[in-house]
Amino acid sequence: MTESNPAAAVRVAEAPADRARTFAWNPGLVIGLVILVVVALTAIIAPLVFGAQATGVGSDPGQSASAAHPLGTDTLGRDMLARTLVATQSTVLMALFATALSSVVGIALGIGVWLAPRRLRELGLRLIEFAVSYPTMLVAIIVAAILGQGVVQVVVAVAVANIAGFARLTANLAAKISASEYVTTARLMGVPVHRLALRHVLPNMAEPILILIAGAFSGALVEISGLSFIGLGAQSPAFDWGTLLNDGLSRIAVNPIVIVGPAVALTFTSLAALMVGDGLAAAANPRSNSTRARLVRAEGEPALVAIEGDDVVLIADGITVTHGSTGRPLVSDVSFTIRRGEVLGIVGESGSGKSLTASVVARLLGEGLEASARRLELGGTDLIGRVSGRTLASKIGLVYQDPGTALNPALVLGSQLSDVLTIRLGFPRRGALGLLARAFEAVKLSDPEGRLRQHPHQLSGGMKQRAMIASAMSTKPDLLIADEPTTALDVTVQREVLSLLKRMNEQSGTAVLFISHDLGVVRALCDRVLVMKDGRIVERIDDVATLSEDTVEHPYTKQLLAATPVVAVPREARS
């Protein structure tokens, strides 16, 4: 899952623990399904009830709307409402068969291509790409031209035209899923390929394929009616919404009412399928329904009684974070200070509230959360209430967990990293780039000017994190907040980055708030450590040097300590 969609994964990880990845019903999905059920019932019942009325010749042809014929009559005097309702059956069946045919063949092709030997797969993928790049409607027209006119031909034509779409999606998904850990594992365990396909790959595609099916059904409706419109559709005595529309459209200026029935039916059925598709997508990927983030001042006695000296950079007193809509507490009454030149570590498992605490300090609280603090001051600036962007930008530097996602993939480094300097700190562009280049040099990035012209994807993870640190330090902040800056990196790169952070801290004297789940990393870097669990600080370790299972009190800390090997941060070789 993390492989396929980091954004979703992050969202899920950030969500409160009780909100697992469940299927969330939403209004669009419900409305869409309800309309489809109504359509299905109409398709079954209407021909039985209105069959005779829809086909038998009536006595008043070409009528406009009247009480007897609310949607008018066609040129044979047949009631258009009855005809529209009766046509539901043939239209829906045609679209259903076309969708079923194209999805079954398309999925089979997609899986087949993925299972095929490499060369055949390459060829197959190319063929599919080729087919997809061809207009669906034209493929349908060509097939209809080859096969002739008629209901079956139309179904086949539309099905053939949509096969490529299914095949491509299936092949892409199969490629993605087959790269995932569990499939790789299953493969290593010798599970045969076809069983892999059936047991592991197919079920994991269900969601996107269902969404595509909904879309394809909606498309098939429109395409079938389009074929009817240009005269390649169902022929008498069969009739569908497309033929009814086609008959009516040429008289739109004379008797407009007769197109209302088929047009509305077609639009709403297609809309319903669209809503189901969107609804499924939304249900599979629920976004938090939330309010704007807030940070307010809490009343009460300060927990930090003795705050002394000028060298205190950050005072955080009584940080509390609650979930906006449920009011559930996520962080409860967390207080700490950081001195100049000090590295404070916060350690805890995911969901412990450590990152939330950091985000309150950084004034970057996520949507839907409410935070309060009795006191929150950074270098003498009160962070509760209105603070200018300029102040925040110059006082706080931020380094994030995953340098791969924290940098904008579409912009070159120089462009994105210099914005804060030019826009917030008033540097001229050239000056900002020069400053960045020097900062890159300081973090030991080779060819700093060249790097500035590169896109993030051209750098390795470690290099990106160095660039990130260089950028964070370029504003000469009072406080550097590093939120799990090494978690996403390889072990060797981790150590490089840690030593870099240590060096920056020592050279510039910038205070660092270091968040990690890894006590080993934290104890190697930090001067003091806070241990958090379930939103509370359970242990304050002031003397990291002598840290051992005996010097801590809380069982959780002991447990953590027992599980972590000692990490030594080597001093960087000075050049």
Partner 1 sequence: MSTTTADSFAAPGPGTPESTRPVKAATLAGAWRTFLVRRVVGLIVNLALLVLVTFLIVQLIPGDPATAIAGESASLGQVELVRTQLGLDQPLPVQLWTYVSGVVQGDFGDSYRYRQPAMDIVMTAVPYTLTITIAAVVLLLVLGIALGMAIGVATRGDRRRWLDLSFSVVTGIISSIPTYVLATGFVVVFAVLWRVLPPAYSPAYNIGAAAILPIASLSIGGICSVARIVRRETAVILEQDYMRTARGWRLPTLTLYVKHMLPNLLTTALTLSGIILTALLGSALITEAVFAWPGLGGVIVQAIAVDKDYPVIRAAVFVIGLISLVMTLIIDIILGIIDPRTLGGKRD
Partner 2 sequence: MIAGVALAAAVGLALSACSTGAPEAASGTTDTINAELWYAPATFDPAKASASSDVTVARLGFDTLLRQGETEGYVGGLATDWSSTSASDYTFTIRNDATCSDGTAITPTVVANSFSYLVGLDDSGAQTWKNQAFGSGTPTFTPDDAAGTLSISLSAPYSQLFGGLTRPGSGIICPAGIADPEGLAAGTVAGAWSGPYTLTKSEAGKSVQYALRDDYKVWPDWKNVEGTPAKTINLTVQADSNTSANLLESGGVDLARFYDANAQRFEGDGYSTVTFASSAYNLVFNQAPGAGSVFEGNKDLRAAVAQAIDREGFNSAGLDGLGVEQNTVSAASYRCALDDSSLVQKYDPAAAAKVLNGKTIRLLMMSNWDPAGDFLAESLRAAGATVTVSAPDPADWTKQMRTQPETWDMAIAAENAESGLIHTSIARYLGPTYAQGGTNVASSDNPEGMADYEAGMNATDPDEQCANFEAAQKTILERVDMTPLITDTHRYVARKGFASYVFSGYWDISAMRIVS
Q: How far is the CB of 57 from partner 2 (least distance, A)?
A: 5
The binder of partner 1 chosen from 402, 478, 484, 527 (CB under 8 A): 402
Q: How far is the CB of 368 from partner 1 (least distance, A)?
A: 7
Q: Does 212 bind partner 1 (CB under 8 A)?
A: yes
The binder of partner 1 chosen from 146, 198, 206, 307 (CB under 8 A): 146
Q: How far is the CB of 157 from partner 2 (least distance, A)?
A: 16
End-to-end CA distance of the chain: 42
Residue 243 binding result from partner 1, partner 2, none, given CB thresholds of 5 to 8 Å by partner type: partner 2
**Side chain identity, residue 225:** S
Instruction: Give the nearer residue to partner 1 in terms of CB position, either 201 or 519.
Output: 201
- Interface residues with partner 2 (CB under 8 A)? 55-57, 61-62, 74-77, 148-149, 231, 235-237, 239, 243, 247, 249-255
Residue 91 binding result from partner 1, partner 2, none, given CB thresholds of 5 to 8 Å by partner type: none
Q: Look up residue 255 and give its two tokens.
A: 């008797």
Residue 236 binding result from partner 1, partner 2, none, given CB thresholds of 5 to 8 Å by partner type: partner 2
Residue 200 binding result from partner 2, partner 1, none, given CB thresholds of 5 to 8 Å by partner type: none
Answer yes or no: are the C-beta atoms of 435 and 474 closer than 8 Å: yes
Instruction: Give the nearer residue to partner 1 in terms of CB position, either 6 or 112.
Output: 6
Residue 225 binding result from partner 1, partner 2, none, given CB thresholds of 5 to 8 Å by partner type: partner 1
How far apart, in Å, are the Cα atoms of 180 and each of 4, 177, 403, 448?
A: 8, 5, 22, 36
Q: How far is the CB of 538 from partner 1 (least distance, A)?
A: 28
Residue 277 binding result from partner 2, partner 1, none, given CB thresholds of 5 to 8 Å by partner type: partner 1
Q: How far is the CB of 251 from partner 2 (least distance, A)?
A: 6
Number of neighbouring beta carbons within 10 Å of residue 511? 26
Q: How far is the CB of 564 from partner 1 (least distance, A)?
A: 26
Strand order in the sheet with 511-516: 396-399, 479-483, 511-516, 343-347, 528-533, 536-541
Instruction: Give the nearer residue to partner 2 in terms of CB position, either 78 or 517.
Output: 78
432 to 471: interface string for partner 1, x by CB under 8 A: ---------------x--xx-xxx-xxxxx-x--------
Question: What SS3 state is found at 53?
Answer: helix
Q: How far is the CB of 87 from partner 2 (least distance, A)?
A: 13
Instruction: Give the nearer residue to partner 1 in terms of CB position, either 463 or 524.
Output: 463
Q: Which stretch binds partner 1 (CB under 8 A): 62-70, 128-136, 497-505, 508-516?
A: 128-136
Instruction: Give the nearer residue to partner 2 in terms of CB position, either 83 or 533.
Output: 83
SS3 of 312-345: the string is EEEEEEEEEEEECCCCCEEEEEEEEEEECCCEEE
Instruction: Give the nearer residue to partner 2 in terms of CB position, either 105 or 238.
Output: 238
Q: How far is the CB of 253 from partner 2 (least distance, A)?
A: 6
DSSP assigned state of 131: H
Q: Does 487 bind partner 1 (CB under 8 A)?
A: no
- Measured in whole angstroms, the distance separating CA 385 from the mean position of its chain's CA atoms is 31
Q: Does 25 bind partner 1 (CB under 8 A)?
A: no
Q: Look up residue 165 and give its two tokens.
A: 């779409």
Cα–Cα–Cα angle for 385, 539, 320, nearest 5°? Answer: 25
Answer yes or no: are the C-beta atoms of 517 and 347 closer than 8 Å: yes
Q: For the segment 370-399, give every residue that binds partner 1 (CB under 8 A).
A: 389-390, 392-393, 396, 398
Contacts (Cβ under 8 Å, ≥6 apart) of 22: 286
Q: List b or e across 289-304, with b for residues whose CB sees 16 or more CB atoms inside 10 angstroms.
A: eeeebebeeeeeeeee
The residues pairing with 337 across neighbouring beta strands, listed in sequence order, are 315
The binder of partner 1 chosen from 126, 194, 430, 476 (CB under 8 A): 126
Q: Which stretch binds partner 1 (CB under 8 A): 106-114, 301-309, 420-428, 542-550?
A: 420-428
Residue 454 binding result from partner 2, partner 1, none, given CB thresholds of 5 to 8 Å by partner type: partner 1
Answer yes or no: are the C-beta atoms of 467 and 415 closer than 8 Å: no
Backbone φ and ψ of 504, nearest 5°: -60, -40
Q: Does 34 bind partner 1 (CB under 8 A)?
A: no
Calpha distance 405→309 (Å, rounded): 39
Q: Does 367 bind partner 1 (CB under 8 A)?
A: yes
Instruction: Give the nearer residue to partner 1 in terms of CB position, either 474 or 557.
Output: 474
Calpha distance 129→141 (Å, rounded): 20
Q: Look up residue 468 and give its two tokens.
A: 């990130």
Residue 362 binding result from partner 2, partner 1, none, given CB thresholds of 5 to 8 Å by partner type: partner 1
Calpha distance 512→522 (Å, rounded): 12
Rg of the chain in Å (alpha carbons)? 32
